[in-house]
Every structure is written in structure tokens, then in C-alpha cells.
Amino acid sequence: MKKAWWKEAVVYQIYPRSFMDSNGDGIGDLKGITQRLDYLKELGIDVIWLSPVYQSPNDDNGYDISDYQAIMKEFGTMEDFDRMLAEAHERGIRIVMDLVVNHTSDEHAWFVESRKNLDNPRRDYYIWRKGKGDGQPPNNWGSCFSGSAWQYDGTTDMYYLHLFSPKQPDLNWDNEAVREEVFSMMDWWCRKGIDGFRMDVISMISKTPDMPDGKVGEGAIYGDFGPYCIHGPNVHRYLKEMNEKVLSRYDLMTVGETSGVTVEEALKYAGEDERELNMVFQFEHVDLGNRNGKWNRNPVPLAEFKQVMTKWQVFLKGKAWNSLFLENHDQPRSVSRFGNDSPHYRERSAKMLATCLHMMQGTPYIYQGEELGMTNYPFTDISQFRDIENLNAYRELVTESHAWDAEELIACFRYKSRDNARTPMQWDDTENAGFTEGTPWLAVNPNYKEINAKEQMKNPDSVFHYYRKLIALRRQYPVIVYGDYELLLPDDAAVYAYVRRLEGQSLLVLCNFTENEQAVEVPAGFSRADAKVLISNYGRESAEGLGTTLRAYEAAAVLVTD
């Protein structure tokens, strides 16, 4: 397998709005990030993925960009950015930017021009269509944030496409001028010295031109745009062009957000010889349980989780590279969803999940606060949410259509809302968890007195130090980075067990996903006297006894050398 720095790296995602506020306005900012670089250095990560910091009216917290070459005022200035980048580089930390180019803000200069008149030079930068008459949009597609995916614009009596909010009009990638603008903007950032791109919903940039109605699912109001917009007809052509014109000219790490991606499709985006991207984010494992849309409270059955993870581990082997994650700014907290966030089991299960993920093949991504075992927020009321996805869904499903019971929807939000990940980072036990001296834009989780970075940095048994150790192990043992993967006990509904192998070394990983003791049979060889326990969330020092029982949420990784 070809070696690469980004295969050996551990990435840490920062959601700047919620990371660290340096000036007391309640909003995280670039100076705040710079202040906390030493914390990240201590954790040991190699790369920061920075969620968007560009100028934005913040309809979707920076994922609606009005100027790609300016910094959002609340976050600081371009000088603050340059200083942050330089200080990160001084510490050996690279910075990967979020590239949001499926859409812009409706306040972007291109869109302001585009909507003015039919022969405006920017008209064709976006996707405009005539309605069907009678105030009917061009087709039945629904947007990801509720409502129609089309917005009527009276100036020219036409509709524009927005797969997300009406304030996020989709760019028309079929227009060569759009592609050239995007590529030259990317090149500008590369020349500044940034180290890569995480590409927002990049699988949606190419749409089928005829745009027929989509299938309306059970209980849905709108049609599904998926088959016409996801992995569309020219997506690979455009990414190859991007690679040739920009990516291949720099030493970058690239990862595409490709919801709905299959393993076969992933090989096109990220195959070793495809000249597109280094890796993709797939969502099969975090979407388990979404049988009828996102708003549910279904638990994730371990057997299915194992099956999905294993499929990706095995199928991409030697052909493409996995990205490993359980959390990001769009997901609830992993310990609340896949582990157990009760005070009794929170730390143990957070460490177990970390072991399970970080010992796999691929590049691990840690989302801010995950390294502390931060939990979901105890939401009880719609007024506590800030996320447009929740606010719109509540309006559509409760206020307008009465299709849902308000309490039931809030219960689903409590389990799945993106705001769970967006509550401020918990730095210490002072007011507002040390995140801000003002009023935070989204409330701090009330458990910050128990769960915070300061406390965990002092405590060698903390989740923080456990992550630190996992990161250090990856650096020390190539088998963790490059080893093959084999699933053991595929039908066990409580234990996730797998083996990694590389050049005479075998690494056994055992994880009990339940609070009950589990009997396991460890394969011969791993309980030998010279087997080395690399990490254990119960402080096990020898592999002896591992062969019989795993305690509640126990995890261990054991190495044997031929």
C-alpha cells in the first residue's frame, strides 16, 4: 500500500463558533483557536479541519458563504487567520479548510447579480427554471432543511434551486466560468499555505439537467432529489478537472463529504489511481436506524454497525482510504448515541468507542469535545435550539401541519439534533465552561462542572489522556495505520472484535458495547505471556484473563509479534 502523510495523520475538527471566544461576544473566533493550539498540540493531533470561517450571513452557521476570500466578522480578520495558520504550522499542525462550493449565500455578489435580470453575465452561475404555472415550482423536490427546494424570485418570474436553505442557492457547475472561479479561489487559499480541503456535500455538485419529480416517501410532503443530484452525471469529470487544475499542484489532504455514497462509488471519488480526492466521508454507520427519515430515536444495533464498518474496511483495502469518524458538527455526541452517557458509564464507554474507531484502518477524525466524552444536551423545548434544520422541521411538522406531536419531535431532536455537537467546548468549571465571558450563542451543557478539559488534563485516567494515548500509539505502530483488517465474531450482538495484521504483527481489538459482562473466546495466540496490551480502559496490564470475560464497556487492544 502506498504511504502518505494524510494516511498517518489524526485530524481534529473545530467548529469555530463553539470552540473558544476570545473577546466576550459569546461567539468563538480565530484568536480563540490560536489561544488553544497548545491544547491541541498536547492532545497530539496532526491536522485541524476548520469548519467555515468565511464571510457569511450565518443562515446555516457559515455554510452559506457570501465571500470566499474574506473572514466572517465575528470570527476576526484575515490577519487573525494568517497568524493562526502560522502558529499552527509552528507547532507542526496543518490546517484543512472547509470548501463549500455546492452553493453560496444568496448574499454572495454572484447571486446578487444573477437574480437581477436574464442577461446578466452571472445569470447562469445558478440554476434557474420556469415554474409549472399556478404558483407551482419546477418540480416537487424538497430541500434538506424542509420546504420546497425551489425559491420563487419575482424579479425575473423564475425559481432558483436550493438543495439546502433558500439562502443557499446552488451553483451551476455545468457552467465552465463557475468552475474556473471556484478553482482560482481554491488556488488563492493554497498559495496562502493551507494544507487541504474538506469538501462540503461535494457529491451534489452535478445535477441531471432534465430534473424530473422525485419519489415521495411515506409520510413525506416533497419528492426526493437524490437520484438526480447526488453522484450526478458529471461529478467525477468536475473533480478530475479540479484535481488537475488545483489539487495536484500542492501537497494537500482532501476529503469529500459524500452522503449516500456506496463503497463502489467511493472508489471513483477516492480510488488510489482516480486523481480525484484522498478520501470520502461515508454516512452509512451514522445513518443506521434512519429507516423513515432522520427524526427517530432508534438505537443502532451493533451487528449492523459491525457489518457496515467491516464492509468499508474490507472493500477499500489497497484501493482507497477510509475516513474514520463517529462525530462531527452535523451529528449528535457519540457517547450519547453509541455508548452510554449516564455518569456511571460515560467515561468507560467513551474510551471504548474511541478504541473501536481509532484502531481501524483509515484516518481518524476527532470532533471538538469528543476527546472529553462530551454528551448530548438535555433539550426540552424548541426555544433552546439554534439550528435551522430543527427550527424549520419543527415549523413544518408541528406548527404548520400538526403531523408530529411536539414532545415526540423534541425527543428526536434531543437524540439526533446537530445542536448537540454545537454547544460550546467545555474548557473548565468556571462560568460558561471557560468558553466565553459573555453570553454564549448556544447554551453550555450543564454538565460542564464534571466534564471539562482542565479537569481531564490533570487526571491521567481521563478520556482526554486516553485519546492522547490512542493518537500516540498510531504514530508508534504501523500496524494501526496500514494493517489489514479482519472481523471476528460477526454475529455477536454485544462485542465488536477484530484483528489487524501487518508484517508479522497482529493486533487484536476487543470492545464490549454493553453494560453487561460478556464472555468471549480470544483467538489462540493473543493470551500468550508475551502478548502486549497496548491500551485498556480498565487498566489491564496483561492479556491474561482477556480470553474469558469483558466487563461493562471494556475495550482492549493487544499486540503479538511473530
Q: How far apart are CA 409 and CA 389, in angstroms?
A: 12
Q: How far apart are CA 166 and CA 106, in angstroms?
A: 8
Inter-CA distances, 428 with 75, 379, 432, 469, Å: 22, 22, 9, 22
Q: How far is the CB of 13 from ligand GLC (least distance, A)?
A: 10
By the rule CB under 6 A, 96 interacts with ligand GLC: no
Q: How far apart are CA 160 and CA 115, in angstroms?
A: 9
Contact 357, 324 (CB under 8 A): yes
Q: Which one of the listed residues 59, 80, 195, 257 is annotated catalytic?
A: 257
Between 56 and 331, name the residue whose CB sits nearer to Ca ion.
56
By the rule CB under 6 A, 365 interacts with ligand GLC: no
Inter-CA distances, 495 with 134, 510, 512, 537, Å: 58, 7, 5, 15
Contact 131, 215 (CB under 8 A): no
501 forms beta bridges with 484, 506
Q: How far is the CB of 86 from ligand GLC (least distance, A)?
A: 27
By the rule CB under 6 A, 100 interacts with ligand GLC: yes
What does 330 bind: Ca ion, ligand GLC, none (CB cut-off 5 to 8 Å by kind)? Answer: ligand GLC
Within 310-349, which residues bind ligand GLC (CB under 6 A)?
A: 329-330
257 tagged catalytic? yes
Within 236-265, which residues bind ligand GLC (CB under 6 A)?
A: 257
Q: Print burial letters for 369-382: b (CB count within 10 Å at least 16), e (below 16).
A: bbbbbbbbbebeeb
Between 29 and 347, name the residue whose CB sits nearer to Ca ion.
29
Between 257 and 396, name the residue whose CB sits nearer to ligand GLC.
257
What does 419 bind: ligand GLC, Ca ion, none (CB cut-off 5 to 8 Å by kind)? Answer: none
What does 200 bind: ligand GLC, Ca ion, none (CB cut-off 5 to 8 Å by kind)? Answer: ligand GLC
Q: How far is the CB of 404 from ligand GLC (least distance, A)?
A: 22
Q: How far is the CB of 456 from ligand GLC (least distance, A)?
A: 27
Which range in 21-29, 170-178, 189-197, 332-340 contacts Ca ion by CB under 5 A?
21-29
Contact 521, 511 (CB under 8 A): no
Contact 428, 455 (CB under 8 A): yes
By the rule CB under 5 A, 25 interacts with Ca ion: yes
DSSP letter (8 states) at residue 562: -
Q: How far is the CB of 125 from Ca ion (least distance, A)?
A: 33
By the rule CB under 6 A, 63 interacts with ligand GLC: yes
Q: Which one of the listed residues 60, 200, 370, 455 is annotated catalytic?
A: 200
Q: How far is the CB of 488 from ligand GLC (least distance, A)?
A: 34
Contact 175, 231 (CB under 8 A): no
What does 201 bind: Ca ion, ligand GLC, none (CB cut-off 5 to 8 Å by kind)? Answer: ligand GLC
All residues at 6 or more sequence positions from 204 whose CB lies less than 8 Å from its CB, including other chains: 102, 163, 170, 229, 230, 232
153 tagged catalytic? no
Active site residues per annotation: 200, 257
Give the binding site for ligand GLC (CB under 6 A). 60, 63, 100, 164, 200-201, 257, 329-330
